[in-house]
Amino acid sequence: MEDSNTGLALEIARVSLPVVIAGGIAVFVVIRMKHKYKKGTLGKKKSKGAQNLLDSLIPLGMMIGCAVAVTLSIFSPISLPSTIGLGAGTGLLFGCFAYEIYSKKEKVISK
């Protein structure tokens, strides 16, 4: 009976851990962006193309994270739904970091 309960607990942890990790990352990013919005420090670019790229960095990070996760799940024993959730979460985090870096980057025009 003890082995059955331990196995069930491990299975529940294995299934719910990717959701908890990705959810924690999502809450962190949303709270960070909300704070930047309230402070008025969201990234602004002068050209429309640069602003579109800046606004697309977070969703692009999520898509790239999912693609990398699917590729890794082909070669690893981790299940596909778990890797997709974790890939989207890590892509969201890296997209947020890219947003921060690119929003601070200024174009230097040399004469």
pLDDT, tens digit, 9 for 90 and up, residues 34-69: 998 899 888 888 888 888 888 899 999 999 999 999
End-to-end CA distance of the chain: 78
Total-model pTM: 0.80
Cα separation of 97 and 111, whole Å?
31
pLDDT, tens digit, 9 for 90 and up, residues 57-104: 999 999 999 999 999 999 988 888 888 889 999 999 999 999 888 888
Cα separation of 60 and 54, whole Å?
10
C-alpha distances (whole Å) from 24 to each of 12, 18, 74, 85 are 18, 10, 26, 12
CB distance 69 to 87 below 8 Å? yes
CB distance 32 to 93 below 8 Å? no
Tokens linked to 54: 């800046």
